[in-house]
Structures are given as structure tokens and as C-alpha cells.
Amino acid sequence: MLHSSFQKSNRFNFAVDVGCGSGQGTVLLAPYFTKVVGTDISQAQLEMAQTNSKPPNVSYRQSPAEELPFANSEVDLVTAMTAAHWFDRQKFLVEADRVLKPGGCLALLSYTMNMGLEYEDKSEALNDICKEFYAALLPFRDPYLGTDSGKIYSDMFESCSYPDKEWNESFHVKKTLPLDSYIGMVQTFSSFQKLLKKDPEEARRLSDDIRTKLLSAMKVSSPETEVTVVIKYFYWLARKP
């Protein structure tokens, strides 16, 4: 999304990736900006980001999303990739407005938990099984996030006062992965991790049961069989007047 937004533009000066984690998204901004800074409240995440390969114009700083260590009207782009749902949303919007230059852009993006699977003519059956997986994890979802993180972002979009703004929820990314890698992706969800902490045996049983059902529906025996994972992204952009 951001790539298509910037590829038609000249190189900008300064981008900030808030809640950058290990910096996987931060480095993608490097070709389009003179300087890119990733911020995160977690020192452990920043240490991981520092150990990863990064372009020379990328650096990292520790700070909360609501207290960014930058001057007023200094930044061309403030973005948060799959992180803004953890912020104090109103305080973050005020802080983003403070550091953005006039004409600067705020860009927030994330994806739904309900990833889809495609495999030959069996996609519908696979997605019914995936829905079982997600439904089993729903009771362990953080109450702060509610049942749909997309609503968090749409609410933030509605509360953003900038008149020039855009919402999009039809951007899908497809990745071909072994079936077990899909299971592994779901196991990284905070809801699965909460279940794992509460009842490790139940977490393993759930994963094994879903894996068995998916393999049966695919009529294969190897969890290394490749499937297409469909990740459903949504994002919004807003330009400061």
C-alpha cells in the first residue's frame, strides 16, 4: 500500500514507524526517505531490530507511541504497521499531528485475524475449518481489542479531523506456504499465546486437531504441503492540512 503511494512521488525526508517491533516494516520505507526512524516501547524488540540487516538511513529509538521524541512539524510520514491497536488511540493521533509537517501523511495499516486458505478446489472446506480455529481462540482475545480490530482502525479513521483521508479494506496479499507455516502464523496470535499460557495441552490439542482436519480436507498426508494463505489487510491514509 505504502509502496504504491510513494513510488510516484519524489524522495521525502523523514519517516517514523511507530510500534516498529523488529523493524520488518521499517526497512521497507528506506528507499523513499532520506531518514527513517523506528520507535517502540519494547527494548527487547528494538535490540532484535538492531541485529537485523538495515539500510544506513534507518535507525531505532525507544519511546511510547504517545510521546514521540521528535520536534513539532518535523516528520513527513508517521506510520504504524499492525501496531496502532495497542496505542492510546486519541493520544497517539494528537501526537502524530504534533510531529507531522503540514502536508505530511499519517498511514495506519493492519490485517484481520481471519486469514483464508486456497488449495485446488477445496478452499471452501478449508476456510470452514479455519473459522473453527479462529472461533476457538476468540474467548482468549484481549478485551482491549474487542472482537474485531478493524473497528478500532475505522473508529480512529472517523475521529481523525483531517479532511483529506482515505479508507481501504480490500487489499489482499497471497502467500504460498507449507500448511504447517500457516498453523505457525496463527500460533503467533496473542489469543493463541494466551491459551498456550493458560492450558498448554489444550493449545496443542487445538493445533493438532485443526491440522488433522485440514490435511483430511486436502486429501494429503504431509503438513509441508503448500497452500495459499490469503491475508486481508486494511489501511487508512490522512494528509495533514
Inform me whether the pLDDT recorded for 147 exceeds 50: yes
Inform me whether the pLDDT recorded for 225 exceeds 90: yes
- Whole-prediction pTM: 0.82
List, in order of start, the domains of the chain with CATH numbers.
2-110 (3.40.50.150), 116-142+174-228 (no CATH)
- How do residues 89-112 score in pLDDT, each as one tens digit? 999 999 999 999 999 999 999 988
Inform me whether the pLDDT recorded for 8 exceeds 90: no
Distance CA 5, CA 103 (A): 14
The angle, 0 to 180 degrees and rounded to 10, between the axes of the packed helices 123-137 and 200-218 is: 170
Distance CA 224, CA 180 (A): 6
Q: Rounded to an integer, what is the distance from CA 137 to the centroid of its chain?
A: 18
What's the mean per-residue pLDDT of the chain? Answer: 92
Inform me whether the pLDDT recorded for 6 exceeds 60: no
pLDDT value at residue 11: 53
170: which DSSP letter?
E
Query: Among the listed ranges 111-115, 125-129, 155-159, which one has the minimum average pLDDT value?
Result: 111-115
Place of cell 491497536: 85
Decide if 17 contacts 79 (C-beta within 8 A): yes
Average pLDDT over residues 64-86: 97
What Cα–Cα distance (Å) separates residue 177 from each residue in 110, 180, 205, 219? 20, 8, 22, 17
- How do residues 81-91 score in pLDDT, each as one tens digit? 999 999 999 99
Dmax of the chain from CA atoms? 59
Inform me whether the pLDDT recorded for 159 exceeds 50: yes
User: How buried is residue 20: exposed, middle or buried, by Cβ count under 10 Å (0-12/13-18/19+)?
Assistant: buried
pLDDT value at residue 7: 47
Non-local CB neighbours of 149 within 8 Å, separated by 6+ positions: 85, 110, 112, 113
pLDDT value at residue 145: 74
Q: 186-199 burial, b for 16+ CB within 10 Å, e for fewer?
A: beebebbebbbeee
Distance CA 192, CA 138 (A): 9
Average pLDDT over residues 63-82: 97
State what percent of residues in the chain have pLDDT above 90.
85
Inform me whether the pLDDT recorded for 131 exceeds 60: yes
Count of other CB atoms within 10 angstroms of residue 163: 8
Average pLDDT over residues 197-219: 98
Nearest to 80 by CA among 20, 21, 169, 24: 20
- State the cell numbers at 161: 479531523
CA-based angle 23:155:117, to the nearest 5? 60
